[in-house]
Amino acid sequence: MVEVTVTPQSSLADRAVQVVVRGLSPSQLVTLRAWLTDEHGERFQARAFYRADEAGEVDAAQHAALGGNYAGVWPMGLFWFLQPDSLFRRLVKRDVAGSPFLVHLEVFDGLCLVTGPQDKLLASCTAERWYVGPGVQRVPIREGRVRGALLLPPGPGPFPAVIDLFGGAGGLIEFRAGLLASRGFAVLALAFFAYDDLPRTLTQLDLEYFEEAANLLLQHPKVRGPGLGVVGVSKGGEVALAMAAFLPQVVATVWINGTAFLHGNPLTYKGLHIPPIPYYTERMLFTELGAMDNSAIFADPRDPACSASAIPVEKIQGKVLFVVGEADRSFNSKLFAQLATARMRQDAYRLLSYPGAGHLIEPPGSPLCSVSSLRGSPRPVVWGGEPQAHAKAQEHSWQEIIQFLELHLGPAASIKL
> Looking at the domain assignment, is residue 417 inside a domain?
no
Alpha-carbon gap, residue 73 to 59, rounded angstroms: 10
Q: Please write the tens of the pLDDT for every residue from 205-234.
A: 999 999 999 999 999 999 999 999 999 999
In this structure, the answer to whether residues 268 and 302 fall within a common structural domain is yes
> Looking at the domain assignment, is residue 162 inside a domain?
yes
Which strands, in side-by-side order, build the sheet including 186-190? 137-143, 146-152, 186-190, 159-165, 223-233, 250-256, 319-325, 349-354
Strand ranges inside 257-348, DSSP E: 267-269, 272-274, 285-286, 292-293, 319-325
Are the C-beta atoms of residues 276 and 265 closer than 8 Å to each other? yes
> Looking at the domain assignment, is residue 13 inside a domain?
yes
What's the pLDDT at 412? 86
Mean pLDDT of 121-136: 98
Burial call 306-317: b when 16+ CB within 10 Å, e when fewer: beebbbebeebe
Mean pLDDT of 293-303: 95
DSSP output for 215-261: HHHHTSTTEEEEEEEEEEETHHHHHHHHHHHH-TTEEEEEEES--SB
In this structure, the answer to whether residues 143 and 95 fall within a common structural domain is no
pLDDT(168) > 90? no
Asked if the peptide bond before residue 140 counts as cis, ω within 30 degrees of 0, the response is no
What's the pLDDT at 376? 87
In this structure, the answer to whether residues 169 and 105 fall within a common structural domain is no
In this structure, the answer to whether residues 349 and 379 fall within a common structural domain is yes
Residue 298 structural domain: 137-409
CATH number of the structural domain spanning residue 160: 3.40.50.1820
In this structure, the answer to whether residues 315 and 173 fall within a common structural domain is yes
In this structure, the answer to whether residues 116 and 167 fall within a common structural domain is no
Alpha-carbon gap, residue 186 to 83, rounded angstroms: 32
Final residue of a structural domain among 130, 149, 167: 130
Are the C-beta atoms of residues 31 and 49 closer than 8 Å to each other? yes
Alpha-carbon gap, residue 34 to 69, rounded angstroms: 11
Give Cα 116 distance to the centre of its chain. Answer: 33
Final residue of a structural domain among 130, 156, 180: 130
pLDDT(16) > 80? yes
pLDDT(413) > 90? no
In this structure, the answer to whether residues 120 and 232 fall within a common structural domain is no
> Looking at the domain assignment, is residue 415 inside a domain?
no
CATH number of the structural domain spanning residue 93: 2.60.40.2240
In this structure, the answer to whether residues 338 and 378 fall within a common structural domain is yes
In this structure, the answer to whether residues 141 and 195 fall within a common structural domain is yes
**Count of structural domains, the chain:** 2
In this structure, the answer to whether residues 193 and 59 fall within a common structural domain is no
For residue 90, the one-letter residue type is R
In this structure, the answer to whether residues 292 and 399 fall within a common structural domain is yes
What's the pLDDT at 401? 98
For residue 229, the one-letter residue type is G
What's the pLDDT at 115? 83
What's the pLDDT at 140? 98
Final residue of a structural domain among 130, 163, 180: 130
> Looking at the domain assignment, is residue 161 inside a domain?
yes
Mean pLDDT of 37-57: 98
pLDDT(127) > 80? yes
Q: Which positions are catalytic?
A: 234, 328, 359
Per DSSP, the three-state class of 115 is coil
> Looking at the domain assignment, is residue 319 inside a domain?
yes
> Looking at the domain assignment, is residue 106 inside a domain?
yes
Q: Please write the tens of the pLDDT for every residue from 17-35.
A: 999 999 999 999 999 999 9
In this structure, the answer to whether residues 62 and 141 fall within a common structural domain is no
What's the pLDDT at 417? 64
> Looking at the domain assignment, is residue 387 inside a domain?
yes
